[in-house]
Structure 1
Amino acid sequence: MATKAKAAREGLAGLRNIGPAMLLDFKLLGITSVADLAKEDADALYLRLCALTQARHDPCVHDTFAAAIHQAKTGEALAWWDFTPIRKTRQQNGSFPPVNL
């Protein structure tokens, strides 16, 4: 399990679940550090990414944002799929933000 100190030392690439594609997404979104990421919201990042790319991204991208933000804030490195049930519940009850392109 990656610690908060390890993630801070290694940067965004040191976070669990973060690979080359997500690092490019962070760059596009202007997120350059774990400290930057800790100030973000998964809904806002997901909607910004969709708007910037003019494409509806797989909702699992939202889950990955949620997991990375959680780790950036707490140091707890959970799998991205741990956040999927929360998102699916929000989608079912209408509280997940719609992507308007």
Structure 2
Amino acid sequence: MYEKALTCTDIKHLEQLPNVGKATVADLHLLSITEPQQLKGRNPYQMYDELCALTKVRHDPCVYDVFISIVKFMNGEPPQTWWHYTAERKAHLASPSSL
């Protein structure tokens, strides 16, 4: 088991990302993401859509929140719980520009 990282510079394994467990690591591998640095600059909404397309399953919306949290973390923001991003996700998906 890996200790969770406090900053993006401390991280070497996907399991060290905040809010990430075995299921999310498996999802990231499906997206061909095997190293935390591959999350930098990614679009978490596109990642979610790609995951749903690959698995042919509509995943729980909380997966959006986890993806937002790990992308923001790897882009230098402090770690936050995944539910910290729920309101942001809901606002983004309700926006006409996200359609």
How does the TM-score come out when normalised to structure 2?
0.86
Task: Indicate which of 49, 64, 80 corresponds to 1:62.
Answer: 64
The list of structure 1 runs, each at least 4 consecutive aligned residues, that deviate by more than 4 angstroms after superposition, is none
Structure of greater relative contact order (alpha carbons < 8 Å, 6+ residues apart): 1
Shift of 1:89: 1.4
Shift of 1:19: 0.3
For the 8 Å contact 1:12–1:33, the answer to whether it is kept is yes
User: Matches of 2:97 and 2:52 in 1, distance apart?
Assistant: 18
Q: How does 1:1-101 map to 2 (within 5 A)?
A: 2-7=6-11, 9=12, 11-97=13-99
The 3-state SS of whatever aligns with 1:17 is coil
For the 8 Å contact 1:17–1:64, the answer to whether it is kept is yes
Higher helix share: 1
For these two proteins, the number of residue pairs brought into alignment is 95
CA RMSD of aligned residues (A): 1.6
Segments of structure 2 that go 5 or more residues without pairing to the other structure are none
How does the TM-score come out when normalised to structure 1?
0.84
What is the identity, as a one-letter code, of the residue corresponding to 2:32? G
Segments of structure 1 that go 5 or more residues without pairing to the other structure are none
1:54-94, Cα deviation, whole Å (9 max, x unpaired) = 01111110110000001111051111111110111123334
Shift of 1:96: 4.1
User: Matches of 2:91 and 2:62 in 1, distance apart?
Assistant: 14
User: Matches of 1:96 and 1:56 in 2, distance apart?
Assistant: 17
